[in-house]
Amino acid sequence: MMTPTAELLTVPEVMARLKLGRSTVYDLIRSRRLVSITIGRARRIPADAVRDFITRETEEAAA
C-alpha cells in the first residue's frame, strides 16, 4: 500500500531503473504487472511498485 511519503517515479525514471524501453514500460502498466497512478495527465509509478515487480519477476524466474 502506498504511503503519503512514497516516492513517485516518472516513466523515464522507471525506464532507466529497469533498463527497458518506453513501450515495454507502458506494456507492463497496461497489463497491470506494474502498478501506476495518474495525476492529471501525468503517469507516475511508486518506487515500491518497481521493487515489487522486480521481486515477483525474480521469484518467477527462479521457480
pLDDT band for position 1 (50/70/90)?
Answer: low
Look up residue 8 and give its three cell numbers.
513517485
- E strands, the chain, in order: 8-9, 37-39, 42-46
Sign of CA dihedral 42, 47, 52, 53: positive
Q: Enter the pTM of the model.
A: 0.86
- At 20-53, the pLDDT tens digits run 999 999 999 999 999 999 999 999 999 999 999 9
- At 2-20, the pLDDT tens digits run 566 679 999 999 999 999 9
Q: Quote the pLDDT of residue 63.
A: 84
Q: Return d(Cα 5, Cα 19) in angstroms, integer.
A: 25
Q: Quote the pLDDT of residue 5.
A: 66
- 15 alpha carbon, distance to own chain's centre: 9
Count other C-beta atoms under 10 Å from residue 62's C-beta.
6
